[in-house]
Structure 1
Amino acid sequence: MQPYLDGKVLLLDKPLNWTSFDVVKKVRILTRISKVGHAGTLDPLATGLLIVCTGKFTKKINEYMGMEKEYTGTFTLGAVTRTYDLESEPENPKDITHLTPEMIHAATRQFTGPIMQVPPAHSAIKKDGKPVYLAARKGEDVELEPRPVTIHAFEIEKIELPKVYFRVICSTGTYIRSLANDFGAALGVGGYMSSLCRTRIGTFKLSGAMSLADFETSIKKMLASEG
Structure 2
Amino acid sequence: MQEQAYAEVFLIDKPKEWTSFDVVKKVRNALKIKKVGHAGTLDPLATGLLIVCAGKMTKQIETFMGQEKEYTGTFVIGETTESFDLEKPVEFVADASHITLEDVRAAALQLTGDIMQVPPMHSAIKVDGKRVYESARKGLDVKMEPRPVQVREFEITSFQDRVVEFRISCSKGTYIRSLARDLGEILGVGAYMSSLCRTRIGEFRLEDAKDLLPLIEEIKARRADENL
Q: With the length of structure 1 as denominator, give the TM-score of the two structures.
A: 0.97
Distance 1:60 1:109 in 2: 34
Q: Is the 8 A contact 2:122 2:132 kept in 1?
A: yes
Residue 19 of structure 1, CA deviation: 0.5
For the residues of structure 1 that align with 2:215 and 2:3, how far apart are their CA atoms?
14
Q: Which residue of 1 aligns with 2:204?
A: 204
Indicate the residue corresponding to 1:166 in structure 2.
Answer: 166
Q: CA deviation at 1:90?
A: 1.1
The number of residue pairs the alignment matches comes to 227
- Tell me whether 1:178 sits opposite 2:178 in the alignment: yes
What is the CA distance between 1:3 and its match in structure 2?
7.6
Instruction: Label 1:27 to 1:5 Cα distance change in 2 as closer, same or farther (>3 A).
Output: farther
Instruction: Compute the displacement of 1:106 (Å).
Output: 1.2
**Which residue in the other structure is 1:87 paired with?**
87
Contact 1:5 1:33 in 2 (8 A): no
Report the residue type matching 1:62 in the other structure. E
Which residue number in structure 1 is paired with residue 9 of structure 2?
9
Provide the alpha-carbon RMSD of the alignment.
1.3
Task: Tell me how far 1:128 sits from its aligned partner.
Answer: 1.1
- Displacement after TM superposition at 1:92 (Å): 3.5
Structure 1 CA distance, aligned partners of 2:186 and 2:51?
A: 33
Distance of 2:108 and 2:4 partners within structure 1: 43
The 5-angstrom pairing of residues 137-156 of structure 1 reads 137-156=137-156
* 1:54-133 paired onto structure 2 within 5 Å: 54-133=54-133
* CA distance 1:28–1:169, shift in 2 (3 Å): same
Q: How does 1:188-227 map to 2 (within 5 A)?
A: 188-226=188-226, 227=228
Residue 60 of structure 2: SS of its match in structure 1? Answer: helix
Maintained 8 Å contact 2:3/2:33: no
Instruction: Give, in whole Å, the separation in 1 of the partners of 2:35 and 2:224.
Output: 22
**Paired residue for 1:42?**
42
Runs (5+) with no aligned partner, structure 2 = none
The separation in 2 between residues aligned to 1:215 and 1:4, in whole angstroms, is 22
Q: Distance in 1 between matches of 2:9 and 2:2?
A: 14
Distance 1:158 1:19 in 2: 29
User: Structure 2: which amino acid aligns with 1:131?
Assistant: R
Work out whether residues 4 and 31 of structure 1, in 8 Å CA contact, stay in contact via their aligned partners in 2: no
Give the alignment's TM-score, normalised by structure 2.
0.96
Deviates more, 1:50-59 or 1:213-222: 213-222
Please say if residues 73 and 194 of structure 1, whose CA atoms lie closer than 8 Å, have aligned partners that are also in contact: yes
| Alpha-carbon separation, structure 2, partners of 1:156 and 1:191 | 14
Give the conservation status (yes or no) of the 8 Å contact 1:82–1:88: yes
Tell me how far apart the structure 1 counterparts of residues 136 and 223 of structure 2 sit (CA, whole Å): 44
C-alpha spacing 1:5/1:213, structure 2 compared with 1 (3 Å): farther
Instruction: Report the CA distance between 1:83 and its aligned residue.
Output: 0.5
Q: Which runs of 5+ in 1 are unaligned?
A: none
Runs ≥4 residues deviating over 3 A: 1-5
What residue in structure 2 maps to residue 51 of structure 1?
51
State the shift of 1:161 in Å: 2.1
